[in-house]
Amino acid sequence: MIEAEGLTKKFGGVTAVQGLTLNVEKGEVFGFLGPNGAGKTTTVRMLCCLISKTSGEATIGGLRIGRSEDQLKIRQMVGVLPENVGLYEDLTAYRNLDFYGQLYRCTKQQIRERAERLLRMLGLWERRDDLVGTFSKGMKQKVAIARSLIHDPPVLFLDEPTANLDPESAKTVRDFIFELKKEKRTIFLNTHNLDEAQRVCDRIGILKTSLIAVGSPEQLRASLWGRKTVLHLSAVNEAILSAVRGVGVRNIETVSETKLVVDVTDPEKENPSIVRAVVGAGGEVRFVTELRPTLEDIYLRLLKSGGKQP
């Protein structure tokens, strides 16, 4: 649905995005992570035809970024939640949606049906006739999310959708994103919230002017750490270490007097042999777990290494 090849944007002598190449499938929730100034918002603005590209190519639904005859079509097929909500505060929540719906040439019936559905899903239907200027930051954010969907776009760009929300409202928005995913919408999510990205995204890309890495959290975790089994024992001794080495384990780390970490390729197949070896050497296994680095661990390690294997 979204394809970019060597997409680059320069502002004078400053390169904001360098040689971005990626592909986002239809119906995928794609998370875009990176520090401030990494080029995430610039990328979204290029893809939405809000600013021009310097070089490279990109398409959305087969329509080409930078081709004059495709510009308006792309803007019609995408919904955008920008960093700043940009609502009309002297209009009600409903009138804001009605205004933007008319800009997209939606019918009155379409606007009524979509506005009610979106505001109900986001918990704002009872406040539809209140002025947006009286809303909290979080409520304004929700109205802006509804506005980005009033024309029923197949592709949605969300820039920090839960940035101003309390935990309960953030969960409402996450659940809302899951509902949109069920409708096979393609969602491009800019976020600093790593926990949120891990919960909702099928794949993530990590950007620091250039794309450092892309893949599912599991793929990135495996590429950096491989898979590791943690054995919690009553005690660790040389006999146990020798027995574990004897079943072909590639690497053993003695974390403490009672804990071992071993590298495995297929834990479902290898763990039983490892446990049998420990018990056969007189060890007592208390429990076995898998070492699973968080997305934060992955993100920080990739930024530090520039995408290279540390």
Average pLDDT over residues 170-190: 90
Q: Are residues 226 and 210 in the same domain?
A: no
The pLDDT, as a whole number, for residue 1 is 93
Q: Is residue 92, in this structure, part of any structural domain at all?
A: yes
| Choice among 98-107, 109-118, 202-211, 245-254 with the minimum mean pLDDT | 245-254
> Considering 194, 215, 236, which residue would you say is the last residue of a domain?
215
Q: What is the pLDDT of residue 101?
A: 96
Among 167, 197, 215, the domain boundary falls at 215
Domain-embedded: residue 232: yes
If DSSP codes are grouped into helix, strand and coil, which group holds residue 182? Answer: helix
Q: What is the dihedral of CA 22, 185, 201, 54, to 10 degrees?
A: 30
Largest interatomic CA distance in the chain: 77
Q: How confident is the model at residue 257 (pLDDT cuts 50, 70, 90)?
A: confident
Judged against a pLDDT cut of 90, whether residue 297 lies above it is answered with no
- The pLDDT score that the predictor gives to residue 62 is 93
Same domain for 230 and 209? no
Show the domain range for 199: 2-215
Indicate if 168 and 93 belong to the same structural domain.
yes
Q: The domain spanning residue 209 has which CATH number? A: 3.40.50.300
**pLDDT for position 308:** 56
Mean pLDDT in the chain?
90
Mean pLDDT for the stretch of residues 187-213: 90
Amino acid at 115: A
Q: Are residue 51 and residue 104 in the same domain, yes or no? A: yes
The confidence band for 306, taking pLDDT boundaries of 50, 70 and 90, is: low
- The answer to whether residues 166 and 49 belong to one domain is yes
Name the more confident of 222 and 68.
Answer: 68
User: Which H or E run contains 156?
Assistant: strand 155-159
In the chain, the number of structural domains is 2
Same domain, 21 and 170: yes
Among candidate residues 185, 215, 245, the one where a domain is terminated: 215
Judge whether residue 309 has pLDDT over 70: no
Band of residue 88 on the pLDDT scale cut at 50, 70, 90: very high
Residue type, 258: T
Structural domain includes residue 309: no
Which residue from 208, 209, 211, 212 is spatially nearest to 224, judged by alpha carbons?
212
Residues 10, 110: one domain? Answer: yes
Proportion of the chain above pLDDT 70, given as a percent: 98
Our CA angle for 307, 295, 37, nearest 5°, is 60
Give tens-digit pLDDT for 100-119.
Answer: 999 999 999 999 999 999 99
Half-sphere exposure of 21 (CA within 13 A, CB side): 3
Average pLDDT (26-33) is 94
What pLDDT score was predicted for residue 307? Answer: 58
Cα–Cα nearest to 177, from 201, 193, 195: 201
Same structural domain, 158 and 230: no
Is the pLDDT at 310 greater than 50? The verdict is no
Give pTM, 2 decimals.
0.81
| CATH number of the domain within which 246 lies | 3.30.70.100
201 and 235 in a single domain? The answer is no
Q: In this predicted structure, what is the pLDDT of residue 117?
A: 95
pLDDT on residue 112 = 97
Lowest mean pLDDT among 13-17, 119-123, 266-270: 266-270
The answer to the question of residue 305 being in a domain is no
Decide if pLDDT at 231 tops 50.
Answer: yes
Q: What is the tens place of the pLDDT at every residue in 130-147?
A: 999 999 988 999 999 999
